[in-house]
Amino acid sequence: MKPFSRMRGRQLAALMFLGVFVGGLALTPWVLADPPKPQQDKGKKSMQVFYLEIVTPEVDAVCAVYAKAHDITFSEPVAGLGGARTAAMPDGGMIGVRAPLRETEEPIVRPYWLVDDINAAVAAVEKSGAKIAHPPMEIPGYGTFAIYIVGGVEHGLWKK
């Protein structure tokens, strides 16, 4: 390594930056601390994604990547779920990958949160300022779903 007096400006600046950066990390114990754990109210249920819907024009490609990466198998298209190919999730839920159902439907990943009372949940999210994009609708053999939008993000509710 060259003595400081023989280093060029950029080399010296880079070395100084590295020293400040590494030294700064040593002075910030929060960087090494355990991340905070999510709070859970005792006696209350936690949120559970029951159905994770992925809408994409490349259904087979997405299913192939997930199948290889996670060693899972997807079903053939399920008509009742808009032609989604599904796979089980470890917590009892499922993932569904389907093509857009209309020309204007954009690719999206939409979690459907499991609820005990879908009508009460829809009323609660609407009262909280969410826009109901699809009212509750039963899918025979699967349950009842609804879709709402809040913060520019689509979410779903699901009642088994």
Write out the chain's pLDDT in tens, 160 residues: 555 555 565 665 555 555 544 555 554 555 556 777 767 667 677 899 999 999 999 999 999 999 999 999 999 999 999 999 999 999 899 999 999 999 999 999 999 999 999 999 999 999 999 999 999 999 999 999 999 999 999 999 999 9
DSSP 28-64: -GGGTSPPPPPP--TTSPPP-EEEEEEE-S-HHHHHH
DSSP reduced 3-state for 94 = strand
Residue 38 class from Cβ within 10 Å (0-12 exposed, 13-18 middle, 19+ buried)? exposed
Which backbone phi and psi does 110 adopt, to 5 degrees?
A: -125, 115
Q: What is the pTM of this model?
A: 0.74
Report the pLDDT value the prediction gives residue 35, as an integer from 0 to 100.
73
Q: State the Cα–Cα distance between residues 137 and 125, nearest whole angstrom.
A: 16
Residue with tokens 């779920």: 81
pLDDT value at residue 94: 97
The CATH number of 49-159 is which of 3.10.180.10, 3.40.50.300, 3.40.30.10, 3.30.70.1520?
Answer: 3.10.180.10
| Domain spans of the chain, in order of start | 1-37, 49-159
22: which residues sit within 8 A by CB, 6+ positions away?
none
Which of 106, 125, 107 lies closest to 115, judged by CA?
125
Per-residue model confidence (pLDDT) at position 14: 55
What is the signed CA dihedral for 28, 33, 37, 38, rounded to 10 degrees? 20
